[in-house]
A and B are shown apart, each in its own frame.
Chain A
Amino acid sequence: MKIASRTLLTLSFAVLCCWAPLSLAQTPAATPAAVPKAVTDADVAGAPVPSADARSKGDPDGSLTGTASDIAVTDAKKGATIGDLVNQVGQNKIAINFVWTLVAGFLVMFMQAGFAIVETGLCRAKNANHTMMMNFMVYGVGMLAYWLIGFAIQMGGVGAVANLGGTPPLNAEHVITLFGKPFGIFGQSGLFLVHRGTYDVSVMVLFLFQMVFMDTTTTIVTGSACERWKYAAFIISTFLLGAFTYPLFANWAWGGGWLANLGTNFGLGKGYCDFAGSGVVHSVGGITALAVAMMLGPRIGKYERTGKSNAILAHDIVIVLTGCFILAFGWFGFNPGSTLGASGNGSLRIGSIAVNTMLAGMSGSFAAMLYMWIRYNKPDASMSGNGLLAGLVAITAPSGFVNPVASVIIGLIAGVLVCISVEFVDRVMKIDDPVGAISVHGANGLWGVISIGLFADGKSNYGGSWNGVAGSVTGLFYGDSGGQLIAQLLGVATLVGFVFTLSFVFNLFVDWMVGQRVSAKSELEGLDLPEMGALGYPEFELKAEM
């Protein structure tokens, strides 16, 4: 009893000791309010700076580096002024945003490596060099097309991008009038990055970031067309995609075009919203992949005369899953980078966007793995990888507008959808898609676009408006009347109806010009020698036929 009371007393004392400072902290002593004092140029000029003597001794703890002496001064005689200070603050904000956007762009560029090894691993060893070379040169061919003309079409009329300091030279959008409203169709500034004053620091940052996005689109197509696509056809098709098809839809969605303005012109929510490109990047790639794969036809041996589909096995699942991880890593540039900044205009949401991205990838891979496990009694490795990518593709558009719970739901649906879609494309449509790109990027890109109209929670705030409409993007489940969903579905209709048609016609032209498909002899031998002149794995013993 005595011990119990002593223990109780000690505990009470301990609680009091802990509580006392907390209580004091919560009730500070009343102090008289300080009278605000205006800062003058003299205060700024007189700000203490470390002496030259102190600096010459080095600065091991960093306390002397980055002080008032580092502020750029317009008039050395007057010293630093308030104007200098404010300019420095502005430049720091833009510098942060430049660095953020550039680093994010570098991450997206590295995704090319992920795509390359995912696609190469999923094809047969006899086509490894050909598949790698398509993924390697898609970077150069796409970039050339985009630099020459694509960027101007996409971003030539975007107007001010506030986070990057304004991009004022990108101010010429070709507009037509339809239903009494202006419809932005394509941009007209920025050819070769010098046209109409576009040799500009902000424009350069925007170009780099948008270029790597476009390149992601072009590399999606190579996955569906691999093991039978003529290399020359690939080059021309990729050029057309990077120069015209992608930039046109990207202009409508991101460059100030008519889809983005559905909110201002027709009262449909905040207009078509696609934060990081489920539609612009992934659906355009996936839908073009559908057009090309349909035109090419299946690989020899994929279908029997009865129509039964045969599995053509991947040659290296290790690099496939490694590639998926590289892609997931690069996605942290893709989605959070799409704020085009880390400072100002709601850009601090980058943490939320990054978390949404990883959560959707997680739930996508889980859903696909479980679906395959239940349906086929084994947790299929390549479909688990595709599930991860499907979740990431689907969250790309809504990542900036939804909460973590919605992200997990979007990823879960994507993981199941990719499995069902792969089966549908393979068994019902009888289209041979060796890597599942049509399902991963096409189907799930469309799902991502639609999901904004359902799950956007109205909590994001990127400078108080989106696409020129005040307020936050809000979906049907969070109180919107349906206008946002209609805007998203119009985006889907444009992708399925217009982008597919344009891609299809371009590739018919390529087929007429050089022919899309390699000869049966080359295909059976493997494309490495006939198309590229060298084997990917010269020491392997390759099978001539599957």
Chain B
Amino acid sequence: MMILVGILVTLSGFVISVLSLALSSNGTRLAVVVLGIAVSLFGIMGILNRAYLKNAIWKKG
């Protein structure tokens, strides 16, 4: 389940960045693209990686 959420959040970061193209001001575009990258990174590091670390072999000893 966490993996599915992670995938969706990571992909949604990309969608947010692409949506910046609908805006006209470069300043706002820049902010939205950076937000999109941050969301994707959160999806990878904060959700997906954490999901895998939960069951990491080294934690089992």
Contact = CB atoms under 8 A, between A and B. Distances in A.
Interface string A165-205: 00000000000001100000000000000000000000000
A496 B20 contact: no
Nearest to B34: A489
B35 to A, nearest CB: 9
Interface in B18-55: 18, 20-22, 26-27, 29-30, 33-34, 36-37, 39-41, 43-45, 48-49, 52-53
Interface string A475-500: 00000011101100110111011101
B56 A294 contact: no
A109 B53 CA distance: 37
A498 B30 contact: no
Contacts of B43: 497
A482 B30 contact: yes
B59 A305 contact: yes
A494 B17 contact: yes
Among B7, B58, B61, chain A packs the most CB atoms within 10 A around the CB of: B58
B37 A504 contact: no
Contacts of A304: 58
Contact of A486 (B7, B30, B56): B30
23 contacts: A178-B18, A178-B21, A266-B21, A297-B57, A300-B57, A302-B58, A303-B56, A304-B58, A305-B59, A431-B49, A481-B26, A486-B20, A489-B30, A489-B34, A490-B20, A492-B37, A493-B40, A496-B13, A497-B17, A497-B39, A498-B11, A500-B44, A508-B3
A501 interface: yes
- Indicate the size class of the contact surface on chain B: 35 or more
B58 A303 contact: yes
Contacts of A179: 21-22
Could you tell me the dominant secondary structure of chain A's interface residues?
A: helix
A501 B11 contact: yes
Contacts of A500: 10, 40, 44
In order of increasing CB-CB distance, the 5 nearest A-B pairs are: A497-B14, A493-B17, A303-B58, A497-B40, A497-B13
- Indicate the size class of the contact surface on chain A: 35 or more
A160 interface: no
Interface string A54-71: 000000000000000000
Nearest to A496: B40
B14 A486 contact: no
Interface in A496-524: 496-498, 500-501, 504-505, 508, 520
B33 A489 contact: yes
Nearest to A303: B58
B37 A496 contact: yes
Nearest to A180: B22
Interface in A313-347: none
Nearest to A266: B21
Contact of B49 (A429, A493, A494): A429
Nearest to A295: B52
